[in-house]
Structure 1
Amino acid sequence: MTPIANVLDKVLRVLCVVFFAALVIVVVLQVFTRQVLSNPLTWTTVAAQYLFVWLSLLGSAWVFSEKEHIAVDFLTRALKINSKKAMEVFVNVIVGLFGALVLLWGGIRGVGITWSQNVSGLPVSVGMMYLALPISGAIIVFYALHHIIEATQGRGLPSLDEEIREAV
């Protein structure tokens, strides 16, 4: 699974950079045409929204793959999970379920409902924006499974002592 994860990481990294650069260009173009030319391009608003949604969802999947997401450990403390391995598996199961049910399944339903709705000013449908949901959901489910396998094989998150040693 690691070679697939490595390739997927690289693809996500490139897509995020491309989407961010495109977002910056579209917003600068929007501001320029509105403020300097006094004739705003109507499609730039919708294009910026679509780029932002795609960037946010794919960026979230990439951050999750890198294990750089915000760790909310109040639930593991409340459940008194003392084992680091058990905590990692538990958290990744919860994130995987969220990715599968909310993003993947809910996203597929959203895409189906909105695929035929046209967007004014752009040759795309509303469903194309919602397509980011199931794609990021599938990626997050993949990484959740990958992290669970790593945790059960002892290659999960480093211990606090290991992190301190690496920082020094």
Structure 2
Amino acid sequence: MQKVRTAIDRSIQFVCCFLFMVMVVTASWQVISRYILNSPSTISEAFLRCSLIWLSMLAIAYVAGQREHVSLTLFTDKLTGSWKMASDLLTELLFIVFSIFIMIHGGFHAASNTMSQLYPMLNIPKGFIYLSLPVSGCIIVAYSIINCLRIFQNSQTIRSQQS
């Protein structure tokens, strides 16, 4: 389980870092071409928009998998024992349900409905942009399942230590 998590972590970190570096280079080229060469690049702005969508969705999946997402912990921080475990499991199950129905199911519909439409500046199907939803949804589901297994393992460890 830990090896799978590490592989997913490293893959997302690599892709996000690579995308960010490419975006920095592209934005720099946009500035140079506009202000120094007086010939603005039309492709770079569209590429940056698409890259930002993919980077954001992958980063959201990564942060959700690390359980570092924004959350209100006013009540859950006061829970202990089985109530804390139930709260953590409920949170992960809600992530799974949201990811399956909204991100994966809805994302595939959005991507398939827009595959025939071309993104004018890049000349690629708009569906490729919407594919970031089901891809990040699948990653969130994988992370949430791993997190559920970890919660169960921790509860078993605590129970065995108490007896």
TM-score range with shorter-chain normalisation?
0.7 to 0.9
Establish whether residue 8 from structure 1 lines up as the match of residue 8 from structure 2. yes
Give 1:8 shift: 0.9
Equivalent position of 1:21 in the other structure: 21
Distance 1:15 1:124 in 2: 20
Question: 1:99-148 CA deviation, whole Å, 9 max, x = no partner?
Answer: 11111111000000111111123242111011110000000011111111
Distance 1:81 1:91 in 2: 14
Equivalent position of 1:44 in the other structure: 44
Question: 1:16-46 CA deviation, whole Å, 9 max, x = no partner?
Answer: 0001111111111112111222211111111
1:40 and 1:75, CA in 2 relative to 1: closer, same or farther beyond 3 A? farther
Give 1:76 shift: 5.4
Question: 1:44-82 CA deviation, whole Å, 9 max, x = no partner?
Answer: 1110011000000001111122222222236859xx965
Report if aligned partners of 1:26, 1:44 keep a CA contact under 8 Å in 2: yes
Distance 2:75 2:29 in 1: 45
Q: Which runs of 5+ in 2 are unaligned?
A: 156-163
Distance 2:25 2:64 in 1: 27
Return the letter of the residue paired with 1:15: V
Equivalent position of 1:131 in the other structure: 131
- Name which of structure 1's ranges 1-10 and 14-23 shifts more when overlaid on structure 2: 1-10
How much identity, in percent, do the aligned residues show?
A: 27
Distance 2:74 2:115 in 1: 39
Q: Secondary structure at the match of 1:71?
A: coil
Distance 1:74 1:58 in 2: 28
Report if aligned partners of 1:85, 1:154 keep a CA contact under 8 Å in 2: no
Report if aligned partners of 2:61, 2:136 keep a CA contact under 8 Å in 1: yes
Count of matched residue pairs: 153
Distance 2:123 2:28 in 1: 21
Distance 2:51 2:147 in 1: 28
Equivalent position of 1:147 in the other structure: 147
Equivalent position of 1:71 in the other structure: 71
- Going by fraction, where is helix more abundant, 1 or 2? 2
Structure 2-normalised TM-score? 0.86
Moved over 4 A (4+): 74-77
Structure 1-normalised TM-score? 0.84
